[in-house]
Structure 1
């Protein structure tokens, strides 16, 4: 009997996850009005808009922007309640509020407007610009940071790695979307001022496709980040990240359900968010270290085209090996690192990068960037003929070598470099002889 009662009660409750900007307050009120005509009456905010089933009724709603509200408000605070008392005397009943939104239901058919057109426009415009500035900050900051990194010293890391290019594209589209919203708000503000001058009401209408595009871009970004971990050989870290995002969503849902006060909400979000991010970093780091064990070393060693043993005698087994190969529309990058124990030296390292691209500007950018790194900075031009290259730069002891070919680049660092009679074998092993001019 109790179970049947709960099922009936559940059928009378409906939760809708619609969101509105402050400039859409009339569209918000009209949406609530249409729901009431269908028999769904707004009750409160609780992890979404909560409606209760009843008789279809023609209810007039008014959605106002309370200037003393805060983005951290999940329910009407003291000042909003005091404001609602004045509105109730004028014939408007406060149903609920969140952020700076206050939702009123008209109780008296002769109730006058809660605020004047000028006051309402000023309240909405101020709240919208403040929210828009906050919304723009993160996308623009991320976009600027990513582009600086992609065009700077990390150019070779980004240009050949599709997940990085994907994320760069998505954050750029996100920034463009918010800039479009910025332009929409400017246009709305100009039209609103003109309407007030001409004695017409300001339009607070729904903006089509806005929320859909926001969610699409967020989902695309999350897919790109998860794909990033999978492509770098860390699928477990990608799963951890996906799980962390679900935890963050669950945390937000709990906060929206219990609706703490403004002060409590601030501390909960800052403290809880910091703890969750810290735990996520710890788990991802732990997974990363477990995935880079002996088995991964053996797997990398088997895939490496060149090791020290290919051109000189080595004893024992290498302590560490790394292999990666990325390919994108712009070309490819092969990376290899082998660290071998050495009786005379603490370690014997061989590291190389082979870049291939049909685009001269890509290779030129990489050449300029990589020759300025720690390993290759200070190298000087030398005879390119032994390396069968267009240009070769080496340091005095030959440990660092940079070779430029028609459609490829080689950057090789070796504690035990190949001898003059071993260079051709090295080039053949790395499949660079075909790039000879």
Structure 2
């Protein structure tokens, strides 16, 4: 057989391998683990991965280019720029705004960025890593997103940007945030890592900000194993993100390509000699945050499943919400942001402070029954050891942030969960509350 015949034979065997190695498994309540998240894949994902392996193009290549084009088109944005993680995407998005090429809109050391403390560290870290000052606002308990009532009060002469995540897929109040952004000429970065497919007023999240980010870690809506992406509609920001991602270079040639600009040896930049090779000219102090084409190949296959994944997440969340409503005397259940349709990442539950049991009691019970749980990431990040010495401002009090830190946790809604699993989760929570309160669930308390 020639090389192409061998390739097709290998791919057919990969499909057969998937059927043998990853058979469907039955669910046994109390014995089969129910994780909060996980990869969901089929033979197509393995075949695309094998294709990339057989190409043996080990860095960013044809599959990355295909993914960036299809992903941008699917979201309705001009540019999608792949990188090695959602955390790196956040770093790239904010770092791009520190470029001197932005003139008087450049973020400089000491400038302020408004955010929240209730979230994941890598929404906050790029602010600190770039010498900027985070300004923290509290959150709403219902949506677990920024409380915009004090947003205008948070503005100071040094405020230059707002960087916020859509918590567990639930969009923050984009209308209110955009009004402040426009009024004060601020940058807006959407951390959309948990919210791929969510909409606000019928528009996809990740398309409102100057920049937005997405994660492809296995916990997220689609996966490449590791991987992330920066989204933007602005060509000048696209070029800056690419520069910071690719060592800080000025050249925009793709890996393996030369002289895309047509004047590789015709530039005069900085104090370099005229004609210095553009491939080795650097405009920024950047990184190498590219991903491999093998990861991108999995992403191309996963994109085909994204609409189904989003629909299943919404269905699973609704099933949990309906099943747990009778427990609302003791548990605060999440609510979608008005005018939104979330593509949920998880189902967040807050134990009411007056309940006769603690969050830890309930979490231990669920974990002992093989139901996975997670806290809302870092809780109140200000209280984390890593951030004790950070420069920052707090506007108002972080009461709801502390409440979530002490009382909240979430359970999964990812597409790998089945209806029997969801029913078991509801039944396990219900039986615990019934036993803890001595009250028949659903009866008047």
Q: Normalising by structure 2, what TM-score?
A: 0.22
Higher relative contact order (CA 8 A, sep 6+): 2
Structure with higher strand content: 1
Say which one has the larger Rg: 1
Q: Normalising by structure 1, what TM-score?
A: 0.22
Structure with higher helix content: 1
